[in-house]
Structure 1
Amino acid sequence: MFNIEKYFFYKNNVDFSNDILKLILLDTWSFIIIQGQDSKIFLQNQLTIDIDELDNHPLCFFNALHCNVKGKILTNMHIFKYKYGYCYIVKKNIVKYYLNQIKKYRYIYKIDFLLQKSQILLGVSGINSNKILSQIFNNYDFSSNKQNLFIYNNNIFLKFMSPIKRYFMILDKKHAKLLIKYLIKRNILVYDSDQWTKFYMEIGYPIFNKDNSIKFFAQESNMEVFNAINFNKGCYLGQEIISISKIRKKKNKSLFLLEGSANFMPSFYDELEFYNNQKNDIYKIYSRGGILSAIKFNNNIIWIQAILKKEFQFSSSIKLIKDKHSNFCIKKFN
């Protein structure tokens, strides 16, 4: 039996370096495959992107949002055409909740959902990551700039170029074992999924999970930067609210990356306060929180990703309410 945990028993803490080759266990992520004769029309009526684009670009993955009827984000995803249906990648802890939220729509369409079973999710990052993968997988070419999706013997590779070249991989046990042994034999450092989260936070890609689902509007998430909202397609769930917000330029909150220190790791329900340079006031905000994710680096620096009121852009000092000694500042996205 292949026990993946033994290879990741001693994981490194998150570090700032992007260039060094890393092997990352993505066990906090999962995927959903949707199949059936109505799968395309179902997604077209639900997601914020034009599903025709997926059919027209079978070697590419896209970013998308699934919102509720009020225009609030249920989850975001990477989605791509796969065999006779579509596959999208989401946080693992939201899968059950997500499927329960959309079950009323599932009964209308002839569709089936397939969930992760024996597949293993791994990440490889670093300047020469494509060359390493090519060596492992029989000289398969992972370097093409014309595609960001690669499939080798039913194993799936999503290529990202920012903030560093990296690959999100859905592998069967055979190929996962092959890759892990190859890299560990060469003393490649291993990390948990917080290192992958660090990449997302660095570029301003929001991380939605069960705790923060259906709490924020689409335009507050920064997903427009990742071409996740198509304002020209036909009707879809939440479109009216999303379109009105776009026309009226109504956006009271934005995604922020905070860097600093604290005596504990913050979660969604932790409150923040900030000092506003323009008004010389201290504000307590969000009785229910706005924090999407938080990670700690090997030097104890903490990053917080949060959707907060736009006034935060003027703040000079940000603190966690429960830790008066904490101190954070806004960090620009890469």
Structure 2
Amino acid sequence: MSNISSKPTSLADWQLLKVTGEDNRAFLQGQITNDINRLTEYSTLYAAHCDNKGRMWSTLLLFQRGNDIYYIERKSVVKKQVAELAKYAVFSKVSIEPVQDLNMIGLVGDAIPTEIKAKLNDRNCLTENNITYIKLSLPEIRVIMITPKTISNDLNPCSEWLKLDLLAGYPVIDDSNMAILLPQACNLQSYDAISFDKGCYCGQEMVARAQFRGANTRGMYLIKGTSDVLPKVGDTIEYKLASGWREGGLVLATTKLDDKDGICVQVVLSNGIDLNTVFRIYGNDNSRLMF
């Protein structure tokens, strides 16, 4: 269980966007890796948005309020990701824009109202009184609350929510790593984020090839240990060989585990790597990380 206090947690590093218009469902069906027909007001959808080579612009958590479809992604990717969607949106009756009249916060543990937790028992999305609640089950029950109300400044830092995403195994795609990785390189097939029978979407051929022809040779892992510095997004991780150190991983996200030198790093590595491998931040002898 997390050590987050009972107050809400900031989601300032994430952005809420809205897709409106009579063609919004058909349009998104041709853009994202998952089947939009599975999206309801009571069930969210996790997906990736890829370029025509199957490389991810971002991961998306989609939900529905009335006839509008919303999605949540990392704030750093919004400008580029929306621009890529807009290239195709000109052929449909849709509008895509960041949301200005709703705010997001994260709720964990005692911060989740008992009555809301009960109502989310048999669903993962609920909207009532113009407030939407989205339940995430990993690494523990937590809730994203989307509300028109003003958010208090007394919040846990964003890094606490990021830590939970890393422990849950949810890939964090920021602008430094856009259009580099196939969804399977971030294990999205294991999170029901890819439909392999829904039909065509942008990048579908390469995503299918990675799944059925073994075209993907990488996977996403979480390594933990100690370091006197945090690696940056897009940095390289090295792994130890008898002859020295070799570059072998791409950093997606990182956060501190405690007030000392404990850190965890979300990294993409070659599949089949030995689980006893020792890693370090590139060129840093004061860092040691393992699975």
TM-score by length of 1: 0.80
**SS of structure 2 residue aligned to 1:46:** coil
* Cα distance between partner residues in 1 of 2:120 and 2:254: 33
Aligned to 2:196: 231
What is the rounded CA distance, in whole Å, between the counterparts of 1:269 and 1:211 in structure 2?
6
Between 1:264-273 and 1:234-243, the stretch displaced more is 264-273
Question: Residue 296 of structure 1 aligns with which residue?
Answer: 256
Alignment of 1:21-170 (within 5 A): 21-54=6-39, 57-126=40-109, 129-131=112-114, 134=115, 142-170=118-146
Mapped partners of 1:192, 1:282: distance in 2: 38
Q: SS at 2:212's partner residue?
A: helix
Partner of 1:187: none
* Structure (1 or 2) with the larger CA radius of gyration: 1
Are 1:307 and 2:272 an aligned pair? Answer: no
Secondary structure of the equivalent of 1:228? coil
Tell me by how many angstroms 1:315 deviates. Answer: 4.5
> Structure 1 counterpart of 2:10, which letter?
L
**C-alpha deviations, 1:77-124, integer Å up to 9, x for none?**
111222222111101121112112232112111111131214321111
Work out the CA distance in 2 between the residues paired with 1:68 and 1:106: 15
Q: What residue identity is the alignment partner of 1:67? A: C
Task: Report the RMSD for the aligned CA atoms in angstroms.
Answer: 2.1
2:217 maps to which residue? 252
What is the deviation of 1:18? 4.8
Is the Cα–Cα contact under 8 Å of residues 7 and 111 in structure 2 kept in the other structure?
Answer: no
CA drift at 1:192:
0.8
- Give yes or no for the alignment of 1:275 onto 2:237: no
Counterpart for residue 191 of structure 1? 156
CA 1:243 to 1:281, structure 2 compared with 1: closer, same or farther past 3 Å? Answer: farther
Secondary structure of residue in 2 paired with 1:324: coil
* Kept after mapping to 1: 8 A contact 2:19/2:95: yes
Q: How many residues align?
A: 290
TM-score, L = length of structure 2: 0.92
Give distance in 1, aligned partners of 2:59 and 2:143. 18
Change (3 A) 1:79 1:281: farther
Contact between 2:63 and 2:70, CA under 8 Å: does it hold in 1? Answer: yes
Corresponding position of 1:4: none
* Amino acid paired to 1:284: R
Counterparts of 1:322 and 1:197, CA distance in 2: 25
Q: How high is the sequence identity, in percent, across the aligned residues?
A: 25
Deviations 1:124-146 (Å, cap 9, x if unpaired)?
Answer: 10167241xx3xxxxx6743322
Distance (Å, rounded) in 1 between the aligned partners of 2:228 and 2:120 = 45
With over 3 angstroms needed to count, the CA separation of the structure-2 counterparts of 1:267 and 1:235, relative to structure 1, is same
Distance 1:142 1:161, change over 3 A: same
**What is the alpha-carbon distance in structure 2 between the residues aligned to residue 21 and residue 281 of structure 1?**
49
> Is 1:19–1:164's contact at 8 Å kept on the other side of the alignment?
no
Q: CA deviation at 1:20?
A: 5.5
Distance 1:223 1:253 in 2: 12
Aligned mates of 1:18, 1:229 — CA distance in 2: 32
Task: For residue 24 of structure 1, report the CA deviation from its aligned partner.
Answer: 0.4
Q: What is the CA–CA distance in structure 1 between the aligned matches of 2:197 and 2:227, rounded to whole Å?
A: 44
Alignment gaps of 5+ in structure 1: 1-15, 135-139, 185-189
Q: How has the CA–CA distance of structure 1 residues 283 and 72 changed in structure 2, closer, same or farther, with 3 Å as cutoff?
A: farther
Answer whether contact 2:41 2:126 (CA < 8 A) is retained: no
